[in-house]
Structure 1
Amino acid sequence: MMDAPRSPPEHPHAIEARDLTKRFGDDTAVEGLDLTVESGTVYGFLGPNGAGKTTTMRMLTSLTRPTDGEAWIEGNPVSDRDAIRSSIGYLPEEPPVFDELTGREQLEYFGRLRNLPREEMTDRIDDWLDRFDLAGDANKRIDDYSKGMRGKIGLIQALLHRPDVVFLDEPTSGLDPRAARTVLDVIAELTEEGQTVFLSTHILPVVEELADVVGVLYEGDLVTEGAPAELTARMAAEEGTTLEDVFLSVTADRDDVRLAGDESSVSDE
């Protein structure tokens, strides 16, 4: 007999997860994740390669079905894709684009999928293309784009319908410093407007600059969580004062435990 569905949160947060778990056969990618992200904040999601970050984001965006546990976006269960579709935007590390389309055609296609009015969609696309210095390349095929240009199109695509909750996986990957700065400015502006950003990145200075709360995932477990200043303060007694020190400390500690217990690790980005 299947377990009865857990009740939704009484006071909905932007993102909430309870006992979220994903197993692939005998391997556990994410184990019993409890997570709460407040509206209008940036949640920095850190972890080494193979920690389960992408699997977590795919579960939170309804792209991967959890083995156990539940999650909600603004009070709506992620199991109900129709209920959360308009509320979320997702930029995976490899943006879902069609090489045979031009940049503009890709964005128009996505805008139509989101049922955006034609004139409004065109205005938004033009604004974003200008913002990311893509206006001059908008009518070129994506097949001819650099990795950074593809990433910009993917980010615009994720933001075009102005979702309440945005999931970004390495949004500055492949970008030059000027473009990366634009992305960081955009993320800050989103939260100023009340949107929520779930940000996964390996670039710790980005997290230190933008995140209100940081969570470190390691081998599928959330091993530490808190405001960046709070986490670095915890390290002060150990002569560590940066978020990098925190990251290295908590993952090293877990390595010691794993090796002592001869536990297996899971390979999942």
Structure 2
Amino acid sequence: MIEIKNVSKNFPGKNKAINELNLTIPDGKIVGFLGPNGAGKSTTIKMMTGILPIDKGSITLNGYNIEKNALEAKKIFGYVPDQPDMFLRLKGIEYLNFIGDIFEIPKEIRQERIETLTKQFNIYNALDDYIQTYSHGMRQKIIVTGVLIHDPDIWILDEPLTGLDPKSAYMLKEMMREHADKGNTVFFSSHGLEVVEQLCDEVAIINKGELIFHGNKQEIREQFQSDQSLEELFLELTSDE
């Protein structure tokens, strides 16, 4: 479970990026995080993962405060950033072993997971190549593999399907569903509203740093008394007019 309580974030010279955000992401569900560009999605996720400091409020992951208990919190989540351009000077296998070392994954288990996942994502034969030679989609796959090999309880994914081929995207969506069905937490942001509508149990919508809706798809339609698609409702909710 992820609990965000009264969280605010300011950047110098700009309007408040996040304003008194309260959001609980429960176990056993896939929660989609939606909002227009600049709404505060990535800022929220970066505070959840400890990349950005929190100006006000608190965030806990399975009871661990991301600022007060940072090490314990970071052991239990896996994070896929919106830009996979990291560790470019490492080979694919070096990066995955680096992640394995950080999370102290036994070598036998590590090797099995690396082989299984990279074959599923069709990057097994590229593991001895440097990540800087990978396409965007391959970089996304290696980052996702790095998250999955330590089998974290909580998945925090920022636009995880961007750049993936249809087969890999389908596979990751199946993995997300299986992970949530085991009682774990999956929280992901996406611009793909159709994916969110098909995959998510709950939707959280943020606009201009404020949460404007959180609930399941039936609740959003009941609240706004509408038979519109999620896309139409989203556009209506986030309209500046």
TM-score using structure 2 length: 0.95
RMSD of aligned Cα (Å): 1.4
- 1:96 is displaced (CA, Å) by 5.5
User: Could you say which residue in structure 1 is the equivalent of 2:47?
Assistant: 59
2:221 aligned counterpart, secondary structure: helix
- 1:127 is displaced (CA, Å) by 1.1
Query: For 1:228 and 1:159, how far apart are their aligned partners in 2?
Result: 28
2:16 aligned counterpart, secondary structure: strand
Q: 2:128 aligns with which of 139, 145, 148?
A: 139
Note if contact 2:64-2:70 (Cα within 8 Å) is conserved in structure 1: no
Note if contact 1:21-1:66 (Cα within 8 Å) is conserved in structure 2: yes
- 1:107 is displaced (CA, Å) by 0.5
Query: What is the CA deviation profile of residues 57-116 of structure 1, one whole-angstrom value per residue up to 9, with x for unaligned ones?
Result: 011111111110111111111112112011111000112532222211111111111111
Query: For 2:82 and 2:158, how far apart are their aligned partners in 1?
Result: 5
User: Could you say which residue in structure 2 is the equivalent of 1:213?
Assistant: 202
The letter of the residue matching 1:244 is E
How many residues are treated as equivalent by the alignment?
Answer: 239
1:91 counterpart = 2:80: yes
User: Could you say which residue in structure 1 is the equivalent of 2:170?
Assistant: 181
Q: Which has the larger radius of gyration?
A: 1
TM-score using structure 1 length: 0.85
Q: 1:246 aligns with which of 203, 213, 233?
A: 233
Q: 1:72 aligns with which of 39, 48, 60?
A: 60
- 1:235 is displaced (CA, Å) by 4.4
Give the percent of matched residue pairs that are identical in Structure 1 and Structure 2.
36
User: Could you say which residue in structure 2 is the equivalent of 1:120?
Assistant: 109
Query: For 1:184 and 1:17, how far apart are their aligned partners in 2?
Result: 25
1:149 counterpart = 2:154: no
Query: What is the CA deviation profile of residues 170-222 of structure 1, one whole-angstrom value per residue up to 9, with x for unaligned ones?
Result: 11101121221111111111112222111100001111111111011001000
Unmatched tracts of structure 1, length 5 or more: 1-13, 257-269
Query: What is the CA deviation profile of residues 217-241 of structure 1, one whole-angstrom value per residue up to 9, with x for unaligned ones?
Result: 001000111102221344454xx52
